[in-house]
Structure 1
């Protein structure tokens, strides 16, 4: 594992890492699944974490054995309807949706001159950052619409390092989903997983909660795993 002193940048996922936006995504997709007559399950909900809009739709259609029932144009319309649902749901988002410890951690990163980037599959992330009053922390945001592949492919985290003008080994990526951890690892960056130990077992460092993410804790974990 990279030495902590060599780390110069942090690349964040958004949903479930910075804010509780994942619940709004789930609600919006649940509405689409209901419209399509696809049974909504916990495993389906969990499978949608961290992946792109179109990949999420394909997963829902496959769960209902409906993957061949719609044209590409119809699928695009369904994805757009999901996004409309989502935008309506996040209309009332505020700083209460921030996860514990994240504002303090971002402040600490800035105080120590670390570079910061957002690598979210959500095309709405700039809107959300603005609503949460976090835009100033993220001068660099990966545009998912310009990527060829979504998570778990490493492209989004490779692009994040490029935006920061850093080598992959100089970056730490933070995720709450297995697909995201796979993406970080594939990019050659140090991965931090937040949440279930078993689900995120591939992460280099694991924290059960965002409130545990501090520079001191990260440094200690990297020394232990060195």
Structure 2
């Protein structure tokens, strides 16, 4: 019996990808080279330092570790300046309705996100109070497809993984959920997320009935 839902943040509840792109582009501009949306495709689902290495490769730059750490910090400052301007209007279609439906049916809700800015984003979206537990990048040491973030979410809810459903938009996230012994709903394309128990284009396509059939 399903008793809880654990949500990834970016691409499921909100889309911050454009803010990451703008922040990386600003950094590239400062370094004196162009960074395009096509280039940005290579950064999706990649850690901040690996993303920086790709960016520097595109710019033909080889920098020492100390300089790279400084640049990664600067990129995050750019990004944070953007997300501090976010509003509840940026919640993806159907997310709020589904979250309310879960609460009305006494299901618990947790966040399982690798982002270290997750709490800031939830606060800006006025969503923090809806979550019974938040596991973000400050509380985990292993990246997806390791199931750590979701297992910690289940633990924080005092539930076994088998009673939790994960909502994910990335292949590595789906693999993490399944590795943790949880059901998973993929948000996006069946071609990419085919391992999930169910794939829908967005939370606007989810309801309690579909959840109960998993």
Shorter-normalised TM range: 0.7 to 0.9
Determine the C-alpha separation between the residues in 1 that align with 2:69 and 2:34: 18
- Aligned 1:168-179 pairs, distance under 5 A: 168-179=161-172
Partner of 1:3: none
C-alpha deviation, 1:161, in angstroms: 1.4
C-alpha deviation, 1:193, in angstroms: 0.8
Q: Does 1:20 align with 2:15?
A: yes
Residue 50 of structure 1 contacts residue 151 of structure 1 at CA under 8 Å; is this kept in 2? Answer: no
Determine the C-alpha separation between the residues in 2 that align with 1:63 and 1:217: 44
Bigger relative CO (Cα 8 Å, ≥ 6 apart): 1
Determine the C-alpha separation between the residues in 2 that align with 1:45 and 1:83: 16
Q: Does 1:203 align with 2:209?
A: no
**Other structure's SS at 1:92 match:** coil
For residues 51 and 151 of structure 1, do their structure 2 counterparts lie closer, same or farther at Cα, with a shift above 3 Å needed?
farther
Partner of 1:7: 2
- Aligned 1:134-213 pairs, distance under 5 A: 134-213=127-206
C-alpha deviation, 1:50, in angstroms: 4.0
> What's the RMSD between the two structures over aligned residues?
2.2
Partner of 2:43: 48
> What TM-score do the two structures reach when normalised by structure 2?
0.87
Residue 38 of structure 1 contacts residue 61 of structure 1 at CA under 8 Å; is this kept in 2? Answer: no
C-alpha deviation, 1:9, in angstroms: 1.2
For residues 126 and 71 of structure 1, do their structure 2 counterparts lie closer, same or farther at Cα, with a shift above 3 Å needed?
same
Residue 19 of structure 2 contacts residue 79 of structure 2 at CA under 8 Å; is this kept in 1? Answer: yes
C-alpha deviation, 1:91, in angstroms: 2.9
For residues 145 and 91 of structure 1, do their structure 2 counterparts lie closer, same or farther at Cα, with a shift above 3 Å needed?
closer
Q: Does 1:76 align with 2:69?
A: yes
Q: Deviations over 1:126-182 (max 9, x none)?
A: 111111110111231113133222122222112211211221111111111122212
Q: Deviations over 1:7-47 (max 9, x none)?
A: 111111111111122221222223334537475453x5344
Residue 190 of structure 1 contacts residue 204 of structure 1 at CA under 8 Å; is this kept in 2? Answer: yes
